[in-house]
Amino acid sequence: MGHETFMAEALKEARKAFEEGEIPVGAVVVCENRIIGKGYNQTQKLHDVTAHAEMIAITAAANYLGAKYLNDCTMYVTLEPCIMCAGAIGWAQLGGLIIGSLDEKKGFLRVKEPVLHPKTEILTGILSIESKEMLLEFFQNLRQ
Amino acid sequence: MGHETFMAEALKEARKAFEEGEIPVGAVVVCENRIIGKGYNQTQKLHDVTAHAEMIAITAAANYLGAKYLNDCTMYVTLEPCIMCAGAIGWAQLGGLIIGSLDEKKGFLRVKEPVLHPKTEILTGILSIESKEMLLEFFQNLRQ
């Protein structure tokens, strides 16, 4: 399966967040072409700043594998991870990080010091329009 | 109570990690002179890179308050937080961050871009010798 197929699954996770009134971000962790962990933003519901989609997906994937390193896995996330999540992705040594839309304000790519593992491959812009549109719709609804 | 009193409690958390074979780092979150959240490193036991002392303490404190922002709270942590934890401390908008020993390799202070909330006050070096000694003892045991 291609990148768009898995990103579409991450977008489904983001949609769950949207429907629960959370900033719509979703993530899935893929290993050997199978989704072994997924998550969506639940910071409001759980009153917990650490409950980002990526954190939940990493914990789920590690739980599935019974191992904390995810070298052979790839994460698909609808929005560029923040520094916290990038730090977690770094610790988990994910093999790949596929990003939907970019987050110029809060994203980790602005940080000059290395945050990810040096071997993590990064790809951006997969289904970015779909991700951006969902975020835009969310924030437009908030303002009304 | 003073900074050393609360850092001593964080060191007790670190000792729990030490006794469970985890890198000994502990943290407590204090609000109105009371500990409302604590945590110690459990990454090995939980197979989860996100299970750092600070993350667990933030989740516990937010759970206690039923609120995700911890502006009126101070975190005491025995070792300088990594980028992931600093990101979480930033999201939680902690009022204060009191650090034991510094971590030149993995600590967040080397990052030039702002990671914490601009109002978070930072203090380092509280019971740093005790923290360093516990870490040293841990890594010496590992090598034997």
Average pLDDT of the segment spanning A7-34: 98
What residues in A contact B49, CB-CB < 8 Å?
Answer: 58, 62, 68-69, 88, 91-92
B111 Cβ neighbours under 8 A, 6+ residues apart: A83, A111, A113, B83, B86
What residues in B contact A68, CB-CB < 8 Å?
Answer: 43-44, 46-49
Nearest CA in chain A to B44: A68
Band of pLDDT at residue A1, cut at 50, 70 and 90: low
pTM of the model: 0.96
Q: Residue B1's pLDDT is what?
A: 66
What residues in A contact B82, CB-CB < 8 Å?
Answer: 87, 91
Q: Is A143 exposed, middle or buried, given 0-12, 13-18 or 19+ CB atoms closer than 10 A?
A: exposed
Q: Residue B144's pLDDT is what?
A: 82
B6 Cβ neighbours under 8 A, 6+ residues apart: B28, B30, B35, B74, B76, B98
Q: Residue A144's pLDDT is what?
A: 83
Average pLDDT of the segment spanning A53-64: 97
Average pLDDT of the segment spanning B104-130: 96
Average pLDDT of the segment spanning B71-86: 98
pLDDT tens column, B5-57: 999 999 999 999 999 999 999 999 999 999 999 999 999 999 999 999 999 99
With a pLDDT cut of 90, the percent of chain B lying above it is: 97
CB-CB neighbours of A46 under 10 Å: 16
Separation CA A139–CA A117 (nearest Å): 33
Nearest CA in chain A to B91: A49
Q: Residue A45's pLDDT is what?
A: 94
Band of pLDDT at residue A66, cut at 50, 70 and 90: very high
Mutate to test the interface with A, among B29, B50, B112 (most CBs of A within 10 A): B50
Rounded to a whole number of angstroms, the distance from the CA of A87 to the nearest CA of chain B is 4
Is A92 touching B (CB cutoff 8 A)? Answer: yes
Q: Is the pLDDT assigned to residue A13 strictly greater than 80?
A: yes
Average pLDDT of the segment spanning A2-11: 97
With a pLDDT cut of 70, the percent of chain A lying above it is: 99
